[in-house]
Amino acid sequence: MKTLIAPSILAADFGNLQRDVEMINKSKADWFHIDIMDGVFVPNISFGMPVLKSISNHATKPLDIHLMIVDPDRYIKNFVELKAAVITVHYEACKNLKNTLRTIRSNNVKTGVAINPETSINVIEELLDEIDLVCIMSVNPGFGGQIFIENTYNKVKELNEVIKFKKHSTLIEIDGGVTNTNAVKLIKLGADVLVAGSFVFKSENPLNTIRDLKQV
């Protein structure tokens, strides 16, 4: 499978959001990656339902919704209604992860689980048959523009080996500090989806940057 590229809207220009959404529509990107932050689970607040609805109305590619919030179960229906293709919840934020995943899947939406940099992949190994995508956080969640954490490589390699051994089809997504430099090694180790925020939106030509990532 060709690596999927999911530009992170968190790094977009919120004053020109429609312009940036349309840029992704025209680009070689595969998904929109949308971080929802509540200021509780992470020390930052992103956008709420009205802004997400506006993005959904203009987006022509699947929405990869990343919930950095406590008690995500309360809002799953809302994100389903806003046409989420993937809903990712944090292992660290769920009281009963299996139930949360089954609720997402019962709405015909792909399931994702994110794990923080300090969290071992061991915590999700027994649930891989319930998980369509594992999002490995390669920065501490909450803010864009952070430096990539080198230990991510080891986690990708380890998770890829487990997925192959168990013969699952779970995708590995990398979120945080992704560039065309570390993308090469991440893909070689087993990454399937690359989330890129600042690297795309702060570049001179985001369309070319996305194209170059897609060609790595």
Residues 68, 38 contacting (CB under 8 angstroms): yes
For residue 214, with 0-12 CB atoms within 10 Å meaning exposed, 13-18 middle and 19 or more buried, which class applies?
Answer: middle
- Closest alpha carbon to 163 in 143, 199, 196, 189: 189
In this structure, how many other beta carbons lie within 10 angstroms of the beta carbon of residue 62?
16
Residues 159, 172 contacting (CB under 8 angstroms): yes
Sole residue written with tokens 């699952």: 168
Q: SS3 of 191, please?
A: coil
Sole residue written with tokens 């891989």: 128
Residues 100, 89 contacting (CB under 8 angstroms): yes
Residues annotated catalytic, as ranges: 35, 175
Instruction: List the beta strands (DSSP E) in 52-183.
Output: 63-68, 84-90, 110-115, 133-137, 171-175
Q: SS3 of 76, please?
A: helix
